[in-house]
Amino acid sequence: MENIDRIKDPILSIKDLSIAYNKGAKYAVKDVNVEVKKNAITAIMGPSGCGKSTLLRAINRMHELYPSIETKGNIFLHDEDIMKMSTIQLRRKIGMVFQRPNPFPTMSIYDNVIAGYKLNGIRISKSERDNIVEQSLRNVALWDEVKDSLFKKGTFLSGGQQQRLCIARALAFQPEVILLDEPTSALDPIATSRVEDLLVELKKKYTIVLVTHNMSQAARISDYSMFMYLGDLVEYGKTKMMFTNPRDSKTEEYLTGKFG
């Protein structure tokens, strides 16, 4: 793999990362070396089963939910090895949003936003709570739509609103990095474009890593792109470069729709 755009002062650096779902099984992610730029959107693309979700989940160690998983290599957040951090601390610094909106069904919109604090038993004053809820909902452009129904269940919202609520929930902890696993694949085109606009807005404050199946989405919003194929990181670089002048023939074939 070539990597000509050397990234200065990366927020995340992935070094020789290999992941297998079972001991001795085929690697789902093979020897990946990547540096992620701060305050930018990095998209991970590739056909189904290429390991892009596995790579994304490894960044906040959600992949460890599979008990038999085997991980080699390191991931550094700034200079700290995340494999040595506690998952509880790590996941507060690196938030995650999933494919399908998953607000907690028993909680109100307000409680959903503040869920990270509530569930972790972190005590904050009511004014601070109100402030975090308002700020987080404003950040995802949901405040005006829900400010009169904050104490209704989050599951009454539309799919797109629910997904923005889930992003707000991840933002409430003020993480440094937000990981999104195909965040718009369950949404309609209008909701999708709202989430995309939101991500572009959010990169001013946060670093965003996004898995997407949708190439035009990657082209529209991402600054850097990775192309993965069968566990290998085939190509990584500035999105504009990759889409106009891919260096690898596999990338070109994928981008032009010859497979995938």
Q: How far is the C-alpha of 84 from the C-alpha of 101, rounded, in Å?
A: 30
Q: Does 244 bind other proteins (CB under 8 A)?
A: no
Q: Does 100 bind other proteins (CB under 8 A)?
A: yes
Please tell me whether residue 83 adopts helix, strand or coil conformation.
helix
Smallest separation, CB 115 to other proteins (Å)? 6
Which of 115, 230 has the CB closer to other proteins? Answer: 115
The partner residues of 185 in beta bridges, in order of sequence, read: none
Please pick, from the candidates 166, 177, 209, 226, the single residue that binds other proteins as defined by CB under 8 A.
Answer: 166
Please pick, from the candidates 21, 71, 74, 115, the single residue that binds other proteins as defined by CB under 8 A.
Answer: 115
Q: What one-character DSSP code corresponds to residue 108?
A: B
The partner residues of 12 in beta bridges, in order of sequence, read: 36, 77
Which of 39, 106 has the CB closer to other proteins? Answer: 106
Q: Does 164 bind other proteins (CB under 8 A)?
A: no
Please pick, from the candidates 169, 194, 203, 250, the single residue that binds other proteins as defined by CB under 8 A.
Answer: 169
Which of 6, 23 has the CB closer to other proteins? Answer: 23
Helix ranges (DSSP H) in the chain: 52-59, 87-93, 109-113, 115-120, 126-139, 143-146, 159-171, 189-202, 215-221, 239-244, 249-255
Q: Does 110 bind other proteins (CB under 8 A)?
A: no
Q: What is the x/- site pattern for other proteins, positions 61-90, by CB under 8 A?
A: -x--x---------------------xxxx
| β-pair type (27-36, 12-20) | antiparallel
Which of 4, 105 has the CB closer to other proteins? Answer: 105
The partner residues of 42 in beta bridges, in order of sequence, read: 209, 224
Smallest separation, CB 146 to other proteins (Å)? 19
Please pick, from the candidates 2, 5, 49, 119, the single residue that binds other proteins as defined by CB under 8 A.
Answer: 119
Which of 169, 250 has the CB closer to other proteins? Answer: 169
Please pick, from the candidates 41, 63, 129, 173, the single residue that binds other proteins as defined by CB under 8 A.
Answer: 173
Q: Does 105 bind other proteins (CB under 8 A)?
A: yes
Please tell me whether residue 65 adopts helix, strand or coil conformation.
helix
Q: Which two tokens stand for residue 66?
A: 């599979």
CA quadruple 260, 15, 211, 58: dihedral positive or negative?
positive
211 neighbors 44 (Cβ within 8 angstroms): yes
Q: Print the SS3 string covering 93-106.
A: HEEEECCCCCCCCC
Which of 80, 197 has the CB closer to other proteins? Answer: 80
- Contacts with other proteins by CB under 8 A lie at 60, 62, 65, 87-92, 95-96, 98, 100, 102-106, 115-116, 118-121, 155, 166, 169-170, 173
